[in-house]
Amino acid sequence: MEKNFTVKSDTNLWQRLDMDVERFSAVPGILTGAYQDIFLSQSNRPAAMDYFDSMVENIYTGRIDEILAAKAEGRPVIGTFCVYVPEEIIQAAGGVCIGLCGGSQLTVPDAEKILPRTICPMVKSAFGFKISNMCPLFQAVDFVYGETTCDAKKKTWELLDRYVPTHVMEIPQRKLERDKRLWIEEVKDFKAAVEKVIGSTIDEGALKQGVATLNAKREALQRLNGLRHHNPSPISGRDMLLIQQIAFYDVPERFTEKVHALCDELEIRCQNNNPVAPPSTPRIMVSGTPMAMPNWKLHNIIEKSGALVVNEESCIGTRYYKDTIATDGTSMDDILEKLTERYMKIDCSCFTPNDDRIDQVLTEYRASGAQGLIDYCLQFCHTYNIEAVKLREACEREGIPFMAIESDYSPEDVGQLQTRIEAFIEQIQG
Ligand code: SF4
Ligand code: SF4
């Protein structure tokens, strides 16, 4: 029997946040239905998924109350759109970092009244959430920190600033020593912007603590992803994607503890040979653009077609946690330098050249025991779309079955994707 699950509502809270309460009131019901269909219909889920289910139930209520309580204590609440924004600094300031990338079709038409239609759905969705007052997380932030990773984002921030204070961090597009120097200056500007909110300076001790907290969170996710690679896997790709999405709005320390609790359970499941799907289930790795909550489209199609997703090379995936920060820094400059070194290892396709990413995909592919790679690109994301050419070539060289998919958040291409994915699964099964 399916468990009792309801995404909670609180119209008084939403009114206080100046939301479009009438329109938003339908959203918890829609999310409840989608969640039941995509997640709760799975059999033999780990018991420790209960916590992550409750994080979704409370996404528009309990978690918002926690964020507003932090704000009332003078702690900064900062929205981000990219894994290049160093959340260790927000943590050092006692603040709350919320990943705001939009993963829903709901607000794309709102955005298209202002923005061109021919840009990435993630940018349109996020912008749409703000201009239509349809996201309580967005309504709760003090300011947002955008970046210059891609053209769609950097030009949208100029418009977003009309609705919410929007700072922009310049991300270099190469990885030379001079690029690193530029980026350290940007990190220092970011630190100064956070310090302005708290009215005091972040010292070395606080930053070290921030680094330790985020390192621990990333290590917990590394442990979880390692267990998930066990063959046969003890957890589904849908649940893994969900956890990696929740990483962007949960309290880091609590999230780390709950991920380890889940890992403990998965270790036992591996020992007891209790996989989430039969050992013969085809294993697929996904690479490419991030899948922000509630973008569960591809994983849902793949797993309902009879395969299992065993790795995400993505910013909502390994790119977020594969690297940690060296902890031997002593002075503030030293710590910031080591922090920057870690962030420069993120291999987003906005960098050129970016061959490290191709190597990283192959490394993760081997570690995950996958039998085929699906490269996922959000529509109009030119950098990932073009980088897929090199990825395809590398897969051909290595004899890895490869398929590239370009999609958006609308349900219109679901049938077509399903047909292609089913054919791909047949191909990898031989
Ligand atoms: S894909 Fe690139 S731009 Fe997007 S969140 Fe990741 S690092 Fe940032
Ligand atoms: S997916 Fe691509 S186009 Fe969309 S926001 Fe990220 S980098 Fe920009």
Q: Is residue 2 part of a domain?
A: no
> What's the rounded Cα separation, in Å, for the pair 373 and 366?
11
**What confidence score (pLDDT) does residue 16 get?**
98
Residue 57: inside a domain, yes or no?
yes
The DSSP bridge pattern shows strands 372-378 and 96-99 to be unpaired
Check pLDDT > 60 for residue 181. yes
Domain-embedded: residue 159: yes
Q: How far apart are CA 135 and CA 155, in angstroms?
A: 21
CA–CA dist 49, 390 (Å, integer): 37
In 163-236, which ranges are continuous DSSP H helix? Answer: 177-198, 204-228
Closest ligand by atom to 126 CA: 2
- What pLDDT sits at residue 415? 98
168 CA distance to ligand 1 centroid (A)?
14
C-alpha 122 to ligand 2 mean position (Å)? 7
Distances (CA, A) of 385 to 101, 137, 288, 292: 19, 30, 9, 18
For the stretch 70-101, pLDDT in tens is 999 999 999 999 999 999 999 999 999 999 98
Looking at residues 189-198, what average pLDDT do you find? 94
Among 122, 149, 385, which residue has the most ligand 2 atoms within 8 Å of its CB, making it the best to mutate? 122
Residue 6 within any structural domain of the chain: no
What is the spatial distance between Cα 373 and Cα 177, in angstroms, rounded to a whole number? 33
Alpha carbon nearest to ligand 2 atom 2, residue:
381
Which residue CA neighbors atom 2 of ligand 1 most closely? 348
* Domain around 43: 11-429
Euclidean distance between CA atoms 107 and 103, whole angstroms: 9
pLDDT band, very low/low/confident/very high, at 66 (cuts 50, 70, 90) = very high
Instruction: Give, for ligand 2, the residue of 383, 407, 408 to mutate: max count of ligand atoms closer than 8 Å to Cβ.
Output: 383
Please give the pLDDT value at position 71.
95
Q: How far apart are CA 215 and CA 320, in angstroms?
A: 11
Measure the CA–CA gap between 158 and 149, rounded to whole angstroms: 14
Residues with a CB atom less than 6 Å from ligand 2: 120, 122-123, 149-150, 152-153, 289, 378, 381, 383-384
Find out whether 363 and 318 touch, Cβ atoms under 8 Å.
no
Taking the centre of ligand 1 as the mean of its atom positions, its distance from the CA of residue 248, in whole angstroms, is 13
- pLDDT 10s digits, 42-57: 999 999 999 999 999 9
* Amino acid (1-letter code) at residue 190: F
User: Cα–Cα distance between 342 and 16 in angstroms, integer?
Assistant: 39
Q: Which ligand is nearest to the CA of 125?
A: 2
Using the atom order of ligand 2, give the atom closest to the CA of residue 384.
Answer: 2
Q: Using a pLDDT cut of 90, give the percent of the chain over it.
A: 98
Q: Would you call 280 exposed, middle or buried from its count of C-beta atoms within 10 A (0-12, 13-18, 19+)? A: exposed
Residue 195 CA to ligand 1 center (angstroms) comes to 25
* pLDDT, the chain, mean: 97
Task: Name the residue of 82, 119, 149, 154 whose CB sits within 8 Å of the most ligand 2 atoms, as the mutation to test its pocket.
Answer: 149
Strand, coil or helix: what is 79? strand
Into how many domains does the chain fold? 1
Question: Which residue minimizes the CA distance to atom 4 of ligand 1?
Answer: 82
Does residue 265 lie within any of the structural domains? Answer: yes
Q: Which ligand is nearest to the CA of 349?
A: 1
Q: Is residue 45 part of a domain?
A: yes
Of the candidates 325, 347, 346, which has an alpha carbon nearest to the alpha carbon of residue 337?
325
Among 81, 82, 312, say which to mutate for ligand 1: greatest number of ligand atoms within 8 Å of CB: 82
Q: Which ligand is nearest to the CA of 99?
A: 1
C-alpha to C-alpha distances, 1 to 21, 29, 41, 265, nearest whole angstrom = 33, 20, 9, 22
pLDDT confidence band for 3 (50 / 70 / 90): confident
Q: In this structure, is residue 289 part of a structural domain? A: yes
Nearest ligand, CA 316: 1
C-alpha 14/C-alpha 414 separation (Å) is 33
How many Å lie between the centroid of ligand 1 and the Cα of residue 173? 12
Residue of the CA atom closest to atom 5 of ligand 1: 82
Q: Provide the pLDDT for residue 1.
A: 57
For the stretch 255-258, contacts whose Cβ atoms lie closer than 8 Å and that sit 24 or more positions apart, written own/partner, are: 255/217, 255/220, 256/213, 256/216, 256/217, 256/220, 258/48, 258/51, 258/52
Per the CB < 8 A criterion, the answer to whether 233 and 277 are in contact is: yes
Ligand 2: residue of 123, 357, 409 to mutate (most ligand atoms within 8 A of CB) is 123
Q: Torsion-angle region of residue 51: left (phi > 0), alpha (psi -120 to 50) or beta?
A: alpha
Give the model confidence (pLDDT) of 340-359 as tens digits.
Answer: 999 999 999 999 999 999 99
Within a domain: residue 246? Answer: yes
Atom in ligand 1 nearest the alpha carbon of residue 319: 6
Question: How remote is the CA of residue 316 from the centroid of ligand 2, in Å?
Answer: 13
Pocket of ligand 1 (CB under 6 A): 82-84, 149-150, 289-290, 315, 346, 348, 350
Helix axes 237-246, 204-228, angle to 10 degrees: 170
Q: What is the structure's pLDDT at 430?
A: 80
369: left (phi over 0), alpha (psi -120 to 50) or beta: left
Global pTM? 0.98
Question: How long a stretch of residues is the chain?
Answer: 430
Atom of ligand 2 nearest to the CA of 350: 7
Condensed to tens digits (0 to 9), the pLDDT of residues 285-339 reads 999 999 999 999 999 999 999 999 999 999 999 999 999 999 999 999 999 999 9
Q: How many CB atoms lie within 10 A of CB 386?
A: 11
Could you give the CA distance from residue 84 to residue 373 in angstroms, rounded to a whole number? 25
